[in-house]
Structure 1
Amino acid sequence: MPGYAVGVDVGGTNTDGVLLDPSTTSLASKDSIKAFFKSPTTSNPSQGIETVITTLLQTAKIDAKEVTSVTIGTTHFINAVLEKDRNRLAPVAVIRLCGPFSRDVYPAIDWPADLRDIICQHCGFVDGGLEIDGECISNIDESQVAAECRIIKEKNITSVVINGIFSPSDFEHRQEERVAEWVRKYHTEADVVISKEVANLGFIERENAAILNASILPFAKSTIHSFEHAIRRLELHCPLFITQNDGTILPAQLAARLPIRTFSSGPTNSMCGAAFLVQNQTEKESMLVVDIGGTSTDVGMLLANGLPRQAAAVTEISGVRMNFSCPDVKSIGLGGGSIVRRNSTTGKLAIGPESVGHHIQWRALVFGGDVATATDYAVASQGLAGIGDAGLVPVAVKDEIPEYTAVVTQMLERVIDSMKTSDADIPVLLVGGGAILAPDTLKGASRVVKPEYSGVANAIGAAIARVSGTIDTMVSTADRTTQAVLEDISKMAVDKAVENGAIRESVKIAEMDVIPLNYIANKARVIVKAIGDFDFSIPTTRSSIDADESFIENVVVEKKPSDEPFAAEVPALDISSYKPTVTAKREWIISEVDLEWISTGCYILGTGGGGTPYPHFVRLREMMRKGSVVRVISPEDLKDSAVVACGGGKGSPTVSIEKLPANEQMEAQRMVYDKLGYQPDAVIALEIGGGNGLQGMILGASNNLNVPTVDGDWMGRAYPVSWQITPVVVGGDKAHFLPTAIADGNGNNMLLLSGTSEKLIERIFRAALSEMGSHVACAKGPCSGKNTKAYVIENTISLAWRIGRAVALCRSKNQIDSVADAIIEEVGGNESAQVLFRGKIISVERKTVKGHVYGEVVISAADVSGAGAAMEFSGLLKIPFKNENIMASAIDVEGEGGGYRERAGSNLRVRCVERRGDWDPRI
C-alpha cells in the first residue's frame, strides 16, 4: 500500500525532519515533500525525534498508519569517539586469528594513547588466519579460544572483536564465524564483532574499525532502542532505518550491530538530499554540496551517479586509521552559531570555530542574547524575516557587515577550491540551515544554487536513502575472463543487497573494480557495490535489539562532566627549524619525527609499487618506544673490511596489508650468519622504495643485531625484481650475495649456498615463495664495506627524509598543490628533478602477466596556474608500469578526433644528490 516516508537527521544543533511521498519522488520536490520541521536538538534524542515526527504528521494531516518507513541519521556515535567519553565507550578485547604473525604490531598500536587506554583492554593471539591464496596459515583451535574467553571474563569485558588474516576473502573456512560461536559458547554475555562484517582488506585498519564498533555497541544499542521506543509511542507500525556513510540505509537491528557505518552519515545525507532537490534542474554532472549547519560547514563532492565521492582507501577519525566506506568531506568552523569576534593580535574579524551550537536561541543577539554570531550578521545584512529581531543587533555590528561578508566568502571559496580536482568551475549547491550565510556568487563556482527546502536537505537524504550490498574479495582469474569474474561477484553483491532488504528487481551495480595483485599470477582483488530500493513488503518484527531497558528512557547524548584533568596540549612541531640528532661519531639517531618523514619518502620512492611502509613504520616506532635505538651512518664511514648484511621482503606487497610480519626477517638473517659463523657490522636495505625502505633500520635496531644502518640501498627506489640492483649493473649478473636465504615466518625456510646468477636465484626463490604465501623475507649474503661503497646508491634514507619533510611542510601550510615543487627543491632543485606534468588521472588499465601487473595510467592535463607552476601543460601523459613505473610519454591531442602524437619520453627516476666529504642529514 502506498504510504509516506519520514526522514529525520539528529544533528549537534538541530533535529530536522521531513515527510515525503515516495510515489512522487520523480517529480519536483514541492510535489513530494508534504511537511518539514526543524527543532533544537535535546540531550535525549528520542524526545526530539518524537517532537519532529509529531509536528510533521500534524502539519500534513497524515495518520500514523500511513507512514511506511522512518529513517534516522545521527552523529551521536561518532561524537562518542571524538569526545573520548568513557561513559559511552566500552572496553574491548581482541582475539586475533593469526598464528605466529602480527604479534609485534598489537591492536591499537597506532592510536592516541588516551583513547587506547579507554578501549583496548586485552588481546589474545591464537591459531588461524589465511594465506592470500585461501590456504590456512593454521587451523583454529577451540581450546585456545576457550582460554582467552576465561581471561576476558575475568577482566569483565563483554565487547569482543574477532580479526583473522585475510578474513574478508574467507568464504570456505569461515574462521571468524566459527570462533565467534565459540566465544558466545564460553562467554555467554559477550557482544561479538567479526571484523569482516565491519570493513574490508587491510588488517590494521579493519581491526581498528571493528574495535571502535565494538566499543560503542552498548551505547548504540541503547540509543537505537530509544529511537524505537519513540516510534512505538507515536504508534507508527513501520520499519526503522539508520543511514550509513555511503548514502544507503541499514535496518535498525543491523545498525545496532554496526554503528560505525553511521559515522559520516550526516554529510552524506545532505549530499543525497541536495541531489534530490535539484534533480529536475540540473544535468547529470558532478557538483559540490556545501552544507552549512549550526556549528560547521561540510563540503563534499556529489558524483554524476548521485552518490557522494568516497574518501581515500584509508580514513582517519580521532587519530584512528580505518578503511570503511566514508564520504570525502572537508569541514570548516563556519555555521549559523559561529561566534564572530575581532582577533586581538591581527585586529581582523574572525568567524568560529567556536559556536554557541543549539544555545543560539537565547545567546545570539537577534534573540536577545549577548554573543555576536554569524546568524546575527546575516539577519542584519539581509533583513531575514522570521529569524529573531534584526533591531537587536547593535550599530557597531552592522558597520562590520562588509568585512564579515568578505571573510565568509573567503572561507567558502578556500574550502571549495580544496575539494575540486581541477581548476574548472563547478556547480555549488548550498544546503543546511546556515545556507543563508553564503553569498549568491563564489569564485570557482559555475553557479550557486540554493534549492527550496535546502534547510532540511539532510532529512530528505535520510528519507530517500536506498539499500546497498558490497563484496570486496580475492578471486582466481585462471582460465576466466575479467567479465566472467565480474558477473559472478556482481551476483553476490546483488544477493547481499537483497539480503539487506532491497527489491531484487530494483538493484543496480553502482561501482566495480578489478585490481590484479602484484607478483601473483591469476589472482585479483574485486570490489563491487550494488544498490536498490528497500522492499517495504517484507514483514517486520519488533526490535531484536538487546538493550538495558532501565537505561532506554534516560539516554543522554551530551558528554558527562569528568574529574580527569585535561591533557596538556602538545605544541606543534616547528618543521622549518627542526634538525635531527647526529652524534660526534657521525651516527644519525633516528627520532619518531625522522621516522615518520622517512616512511613518507619511502612510499613516494616506491614509484607506484613497493607496498605501503605503514605496518613497518608502526612496528619500528614501537621498537623505538621500548628502547631500541636506530642508528644511520654514511656509506663512506664503513671500513673496507666491514661485513654489511642486507634484507627485505620478496613477493606481493598486497600480502603485507593483511599478514603482518612474524620474525621472518631475522630468521632469514640467522640462517645466513649461522652458516657463516660470524655477525655483520652494519645492514643495508635492499631497496629504499615502499615497505622495504624501513627493513634495514628494523633489522639494525633489533636486539639480535644492534648494528647501524647504511644510508643507502641497491636501487634508489623500488623495482619489480631483486636482481635489478646496482651490484648486478656494476659487477655483472653473477651471484653476488651467497649464501642467501628466505623465510616465511611460519616455519618454512630455504638456504641457497650456491647459484650462477642473481637472476636465477630470483627465479628459484619466486617459485618457492608462491607456495609460501606469496611473500617471504629475504636475507642476502654479506657484502664487504669496500664493495658496499662501490655499489651503493648513497644517502637514500636522507633523501626519503627530505621528501617526507617537504610533504609535512606542505601539509602544515595547507599547500598540497605545491608538494611536487617542494620535493624537487628539497632533493636538489631543477638539476636533480623536474615536474613533467600536472593533471588528473582519467584511466588505469591493468593485466597480470607471469605474476607481474602490467598496465598504463593516462593523465589529462589541467590548468594549474594557481598552484605556482612555472609552465602550463596540455594533452595527455601516459605512464606504463610493471608493478612500478620508470618512464612517461607526453602525448599531444590533435583535433576533435582525438589523434595522438608522441611528443617526448622522460625518465621519472629522481637522481640522488651526492654529498661526499661532509655527510650530515641535517644539511
Structure 2
Amino acid sequence: MGNASKTIRIGVDVGGTNTDSVILDDSARSSSNRGVIAHFKTATTPNVTDGIETAVRTVLERSAIPHDRIACLTIGTTHFINAVVEHDARRLSKVAVIRLSKSFTREVPPFSDFPPALKEIMYGYHGYVDGGLHIDGSQESPIVEAQVIRECEKIKEKGIRSVVIAGVYAPIDDHFQQESQVRKIMKRELPSADIVCSHEISNIGFLERENASILNASILRFARRTIRGFRAAMKRLNLRCGLYLTQNDGTLVDAASAARLPIRTFSSGATNSMRGAAYLGGLDTGEKGGRTSTIVVDIGGTTSDVGVLLPSGFPRQASAYVTVAGVRINYSMPHLESIGLGGGSIVRELPGGQITVGSDSVGHFLTTDAKVFGGSTLTATDITVAAGAKIGDPSLVKDVPPSLVSAAQAKIKSLLEGIIDVMKTSPEPLPVLLVGGGSVIAPNTLEGVSQLIRPPFHDVANAVGAAISKVGGSVDLIQSTVDQTVAQAVEKAKTMAIDRAVEAGADRNTVEVAEIDTIPLQYVANQVRIIVKAIGDLASGAGDLHSVNGIAEEDEPEVDEREQEGVKARVREVPSAALNIDAYRPRIVTSKETGIPEWYVSEVDIGWLADGCYVLGCAGGGSPFPEFIQLRDQLRAGHTLRVIDSSHLSPDANIYWGGHMGSPAVSVERLAANETIDAIRELMDYLRHDSFDAVMGLEIGGANGLQPLLLGSSKHFDRPVIDADWMGRAYPTYWQTTLCVYETGQLVPCAIASGDGKHIIMTKTTDDEIVDRALRASCAEMGSRVGMAARPTTTDRVRNYGVLNTVSLAWRIGRCIARAHAKNTLNTVAEQIVDEIGGPSTARVLFRGKIISVERRLFKGHSYGEITIQQLPTDEEENTSASPSRYQPVATGGFLKIPFKNENIYAKHILESGEEKYIAMVPDLISVLDTQSGKALGVPEFRYGLRVTVLGITCSPRWSDTEKGLQIGGPRAFGYDIDYVPLGAYIEPRSVILEYA
C-alpha cells in the first residue's frame, strides 16, 4: 500500500517536562478540528523512548486507526541538545579535528571558544593539512594524501573514533570537493570512525561551522543508539511506517539522516510549536489572513518564548550566530526571544505601589503554590482567575484588590507587547498566535497586533507541528557574476535547492521555493552569496521503516536506552571567584632595562578592550572577537602583551604601524592569520630594518583596535604597543588618518601581504587617497583580505599628530560595560561611559529608543545604509526613575536617523512636526549600544525592534581644529553638504599607565 492512500500521520514532541502526541489525518485539514483525531500528553521519562511509546500507543488506541493506514511517525526531540547542554560525558564522544588550509586558521585553533568543561569532554586532537579555498572558489592548495595519512595515524594512536574535517570555504567547494577527498582517504585508513565534513553541517563562518560540526560528531554514537531505540519501540507497537525526525527549520529528516546529522534536530521543539500553532490557527493555507508573517507566543509556566513564522510558513531563522551550551555556531535555528513571564510568574507589589510580574516563577509547583490551588504565592494565573477565568478555586483570590488585578494585567500586557514588538520587522500590526498551557494569562487584545488567535489543541501545538512537517532542501553558494547575471545565478541556486528537496524525499510536483536571499560581498567584485530554501510534501512511498537507509529492520539491534543512563562525568571545574571590578588594578611594571612603566595586559584587560574597541568602532571596524580569542590564547600560553605611554617614547624611536584591509567575508573564514606580521616583515626587509622600537595601531575602532597587541606580543615582535592610534575611532579608508591631516606622503613606502606568500610594496605616491585605492585593487586579487604595514613613523609625529591614550579609553569603556553587567546597572551603562570619558561636556547620551527601520546597500565595496530609531513610549522605558538633568538625552521625542558608510556618519533628530536638527556628526563618534547588553552594535547587527541607546563622543581636536581634518574626516568626506558642529569639548582620556603606575 503506497503513501498515496496513507494520510494518517503521528506526531510526537519530546519536551523537558512533557511528551505530547497527536494522530492527524492529513486529508482532513479543512475540517473544524484540522484533522486532529486524538491527542495525548504524558510526562517525559528518563528513558525518552518509554514516554514516546506510551504517548503513541495511547493515541493509536484512542483513534482505533488501523496501523496500515499510517504514513509516518515524526518525532521532535530535545534529547540530543540536552546531552550537550547537560555536559553528559556518557553520551558525548571525544573528537579529532583536521583543518584544511595551508596558510590560515592556525592562530585560532579548534575548540578555542568552547567552555572549559565541554572542551575537556569533547577535545581529542587537532591537526592541519594543506588545502583550503579562496573566496573566489580557487584552490589555496591541493590536498596532499601523505599528510592526511599521517594525521590518521595520530588519530588511530589516540583511539578517537569521531573526526571532523573543516576546510576554509568548504561550503562553496563544488569543484575540488576537498573535504570529500579527505573523507575518502580517512574512511580507508580509519574504517570504523565517524567522519563529519563541515560543508554538510552549516554555511560560511569557519569557526562557527567547525564548532557545529564538533557538536554533531560528538553525539553521533548516542544519536544512533537513540534512533535505534525509537525503531525498537515502533517494532513493539507494530508500526511499519516511515520514521522521521523534525529539523530546526521545520522540515523532516529521515531517521538514517538524523542519525548522521543529529544537530539538525537541536532546536526543533520551538519550530514545531510555531508551525503547529499556525496550522491549528488556519494561517498555513491563507485562511484568517494567512500567508503573512505571524508571531507565535508560547507561554509556559516560567517563560514566554516568541518566534516569527514567515509567509512561507517556516520560522524566521536567527541571524548570524547562535549559542548552544556556550558554543557559538552558525547552524540554522529559529530566532527566538524569551521573557520571564508565565502562568507561574510571581506577582509582587513593591513599596510605592509599583507592580512586578516575574521574572521569577513557582514553575512546575504552580498547582501547589498558587493561591487558586491552596498555596500562598500570588501568581499570574491567580490574577487571571481574579479577573474572571475558571481555574482552580476562584474563591481563594477574592481578597485580591481590583486595583492590583488591573495593574498586574496591565504589566502582563505591556511585557507581551514589548517582546512582540521586538520580534517584528516593521511597525505594521501582525497576527499573533497564543499557545502553551500559560496562554490563559494573556489579555484579549494587544497593541500592534492585527489578530489575537488562541487555536484549538493549543496545548499540543508542538506535536501537531511535528505531524505536519514537510521536506526541505537548501543551498548557500557564493557565485561569480562575471559570466552570468545575478538573476541567472539565483535560478541556478533555486534549481539546486529543489533537487536537494527531492533527494531528501519530497514530491517534486509539490516543491516550491520558500526563501531566497541575495547578499553582495563587501570589497569583492562580481561575487554574490545566494541562499535558497525549497520545501515540498513527503513523496508517496517514501521511507517505510524496513527500507530506511537500505538497512533491514532485523539488522537493527534493540538497545535499551536505560543501559546508557548513568552518572554524568565528573568534570574538573576550576573554581573562580567573581571579579571585583572596582578593586581590580591593571598590572604596571617598571622595566629594569629602560626604567619605563609598562602595562602588562591581562585576560581581563583583553575582554574589556574588545568591548571598548567595538564601541569606538562607531558601528564599523568589524567584530574584535577573533582577535580577542587569539590574544586570550597567547596569554594562556605564557606570552606577554605590553602597552606604554607615548610620553615614555625615546626621541629617536622607530615606530611601525598597520592593520587589516579587506572583506569581512574573508575574515570569517580565514580567522586570524599573520598577514599584518608578514607585511611588517616585508617592509622591514625593504627598509633594511633589523628591528624597531614600538608598534602603534591604525585605528582603535573595531577589530583593528586589537591588531597592535598581536604585533607587539612576545609571540611575534615582542615590542610595546603605544597607547595611541591615528583615528581615535574607525574610518572606512586608510588615508582617513590624523597623520594624513598634517602631512602628505607618510603612508608610503608601505607593504601588504595576503598571509599565504603574496606580498606587494608601494614606494611612492602623489597623494594619500590613491594609496588606499591602489592597495584595495591589489587586495581583491590577493584573496580580498591583506595585512598592511605603513611607513614607520616617529615619536614627534605620534605626539603631535596621533590620538593619544585611546587604548586606555577602550579599556575604560569596556570596564564600564563589565561593571554594569556585574552590578545589574545596564540601564545606565551609557551614563557610566559618559562619566568615565569626562562627563557631559565631552560625551552625551544622544537618544534612546527602538530601531524601526534598517536600510542597507553595497556600493564600491562599502556598506551604505541608514537606521531609524523611534523614542520609546514612557511606559516601555525600563528605567523610569528621574535621571539628573546632565544625563538627559540631547534629543527626545520623534525619531533619530543615522546613515552609515561602514561607520555611522551623523545623527539627525526629526520631530513629529517635521522639524529637523543635526545633533552629532563625524568626525565626532556616534555609537549605537544595545540597551539590553550594554554592548556596541555594528552595522551587521542592526535590526528592527532592538532597544538602543545612542552615545555621542567628542572627537580629538586633531580632526576638528583644522580645515583639512574636516575635509578628510568630516561630513563632506562622505558626500553630505553639512557644516560640522562640535558635540562638546574634547578631554584627553586618562592614561591607564600613568594612573596605576
Which TM-score band (shorter chain)? 0.7 to 0.9
- CA shift, 1:177, in A, is 1.0
Contact kept, 8 Å, 1:794 with 1:912, in 2: the verdict is no
Farther-moved stretch of structure 1 (498-507 vs 172-181): 498-507
Amino acid at match of 1:553: V
Contact kept, 8 Å, 1:841 with 1:857, in 2: the verdict is no
Amino acid at match of 1:796: T
- 1:414–1:858: structure 2 CA closer, same or farther, 3 Å change rule? closer
1: CA distance, partners of 2:475 / 2:232: 33
Farther-moved stretch of structure 1 (716-725 vs 110-119): 716-725
Contact kept, 8 Å, 1:301 with 1:419, in 2: the verdict is no
1: CA distance, partners of 2:485 / 2:509: 26
Contact kept, 8 Å, 1:737 with 1:783, in 2: the verdict is no
- 1:581–1:848: structure 2 CA closer, same or farther, 3 Å change rule? same
SS across alignment from 2:213:
helix
The equivalent of 2:613 in structure 1 is 602
The equivalent of 1:468 in structure 2 is 472
- 1:763–1:446: structure 2 CA closer, same or farther, 3 Å change rule? closer
The equivalent of 2:656 in structure 1 is 645
2: CA distance, partners of 1:401 / 1:72: 45
1: CA distance, partners of 2:413 / 2:891: 28
- 1:331–1:847: structure 2 CA closer, same or farther, 3 Å change rule? closer
- CA shift, 1:203, in A, is 0.7
- CA shift, 1:139, in A, is 0.7
Farther-moved stretch of structure 1 (748-757 vs 71-80): 748-757
- CA shift, 1:566, in A, is 7.7
Contact kept, 8 Å, 1:83 with 1:559, in 2: the verdict is no
Contact kept, 8 Å, 1:290 with 1:300, in 2: the verdict is yes
Out of 857, 865, 874, the residue aligned to residue 856 of structure 1 is 865
SS across alignment from 2:42:
strand
The equivalent of 1:499 in structure 2 is 503
After superposition, give the CA deviation of every residue in 1:762-803 in whole Å (9 maximum; x if it has no partner): 444334333321212112231111111122122332333344
The equivalent of 2:726 in structure 1 is 714
- Summarize the alignment of residues 175-574 of structure 1 with structure 2, pairs less than 5 Å apart: 175-279=178-282, 280-281=287-288, 286-293=293-300, 296-331=303-338, 414=415, 417-418=418-419, 420-421=421-422, 428-436=432-440, 449-478=453-482, 480-538=484-542, 540=544, 542-544=547-549, 552-556=558-562, 560-562=566-568, 564=570, 567=573, 570-573=576-579
1: CA distance, partners of 2:165 / 2:298: 37
1: CA distance, partners of 2:147 / 2:409: 60
Contact kept, 8 Å, 1:838 with 1:873, in 2: the verdict is no
After superposition, give the CA deviation of every residue in 1:800-839 in whole Å (9 maximum; x if it has no partner): 3344345445656778787666655654436435536855
- 1:544–1:222: structure 2 CA closer, same or farther, 3 Å change rule? farther
Taking only the aligned residue pairs, the percentage that are identical comes to 41
Contact kept, 8 Å, 2:805 with 2:990, in 1: the verdict is no
SS across alignment from 2:204:
coil
Alignment partner of 1:729 is 2:748:
no
After superposition, give the CA deviation of every residue in 1:46-68 in whole Å (9 maximum; x if it has no partner): 22222212211222221111111
Amino acid at match of 1:236: L
Farther-moved stretch of structure 1 (272-281 vs 753-762): 753-762
Contact kept, 8 Å, 2:208 with 2:321, in 1: the verdict is yes
1: CA distance, partners of 2:482 / 2:65: 58
Farther-moved stretch of structure 1 (284-293 vs 419-428): 419-428
Contact kept, 8 Å, 1:727 with 1:791, in 2: the verdict is yes
Farther-moved stretch of structure 1 (765-774 vs 681-690): 765-774
2: CA distance, partners of 1:76 / 1:212: 14
SS across alignment from 2:549:
coil
Amino acid at match of 1:502: A
Contact kept, 8 Å, 1:277 with 1:452, in 2: the verdict is yes
The equivalent of 1:897 in structure 2 is none
Contact kept, 8 Å, 1:271 with 1:308, in 2: the verdict is yes
- 1:786–1:470: structure 2 CA closer, same or farther, 3 Å change rule? same
- CA shift, 1:32, in A, is 1.6
Amino acid at match of 1:791: Y
- 1:119–1:274: structure 2 CA closer, same or farther, 3 Å change rule? same
Contact kept, 8 Å, 2:131 with 2:141, in 1: the verdict is yes
Contact kept, 8 Å, 1:13 with 1:294, in 2: the verdict is no
Where does the alignment leave 5 or more consecutive residues of structure 1 unmatched?
895-899
Alignment partner of 1:765 is 2:763:
no
Alignment partner of 1:73 is 2:81:
no
Alignment partner of 1:670 is 2:690:
no
The equivalent of 1:790 in structure 2 is 800
Contact kept, 8 Å, 1:129 with 1:164, in 2: the verdict is yes
After superposition, give the CA deviation of every residue in 1:209-237 in whole Å (9 maximum; x if it has no partner): 10001001111111122112222332223
Farther-moved stretch of structure 1 (906-915 vs 372-381): 372-381
- CA shift, 1:118, in A, is 0.4
The equivalent of 1:150 in structure 2 is 153
SS across alignment from 2:33:
helix
2: CA distance, partners of 1:892 / 1:407: 33
SS across alignment from 2:846:
coil
Query: How many residues get paired?
Result: 904
Contact kept, 8 Å, 1:409 with 1:442, in 2: the verdict is no
Alignment partner of 1:20 is 2:24:
yes
Contact kept, 8 Å, 2:612 with 2:814, in 1: the verdict is yes
Contact kept, 8 Å, 1:832 with 1:912, in 2: the verdict is no
2: CA distance, partners of 1:602 / 1:876: 24
Contact kept, 8 Å, 1:85 with 1:559, in 2: the verdict is no
Amino acid at match of 2:654: V
Contact kept, 8 Å, 2:317 with 2:335, in 1: the verdict is yes
- 1:446–1:513: structure 2 CA closer, same or farther, 3 Å change rule? closer
1: CA distance, partners of 2:811 / 2:489: 42
- 1:887–1:189: structure 2 CA closer, same or farther, 3 Å change rule? same
SS across alignment from 1:256:
helix
Amino acid at match of 2:561: V
- 1:224–1:400: structure 2 CA closer, same or farther, 3 Å change rule? farther
- 1:564–1:855: structure 2 CA closer, same or farther, 3 Å change rule? closer
SS across alignment from 2:710:
helix
The equivalent of 2:626 in structure 1 is 615
- CA shift, 1:534, in A, is 2.3
- CA shift, 1:194, in A, is 0.6
- CA shift, 1:631, in A, is 2.3
After superposition, give the CA deviation of every residue in 1:698-729 in whole Å (9 maximum; x if it has no partner): 11123332222122211233333322222112
2: CA distance, partners of 1:643 / 1:598: 25
After superposition, give the CA deviation of every residue in 1:90-110 in whole Å (9 maximum; x if it has no partner): 110001001122112111111
SS across alignment from 1:544:
helix
- 1:490–1:403: structure 2 CA closer, same or farther, 3 Å change rule? same
Contact kept, 8 Å, 1:73 with 1:242, in 2: the verdict is yes
The equivalent of 1:886 in structure 2 is 905
2: CA distance, partners of 1:306 / 1:763: 46
Where does the alignment leave 5 or more consecutive residues of structure 2 unmatched?
591-595, 880-888, 926-953, 957-985
Contact kept, 8 Å, 2:908 with 2:919, in 1: the verdict is yes
- 1:71–1:686: structure 2 CA closer, same or farther, 3 Å change rule? same
- 1:843–1:114: structure 2 CA closer, same or farther, 3 Å change rule? closer
Amino acid at match of 2:629: V
SS across alignment from 1:610:
coil
Alignment partner of 1:907 is 2:921:
yes
Alignment partner of 1:778 is 2:779:
no
Farther-moved stretch of structure 1 (30-39 vs 591-600): 591-600
Contact kept, 8 Å, 1:226 with 1:555, in 2: the verdict is yes
Contact kept, 8 Å, 1:2 with 1:23, in 2: the verdict is no
1: CA distance, partners of 2:661 / 2:700: 14
- CA shift, 1:130, in A, is 0.4
2: CA distance, partners of 1:82 / 1:192: 23
Alignment partner of 1:627 is 2:641:
no
Contact kept, 8 Å, 2:854 with 2:868, in 1: the verdict is yes
- CA shift, 1:488, in A, is 2.2
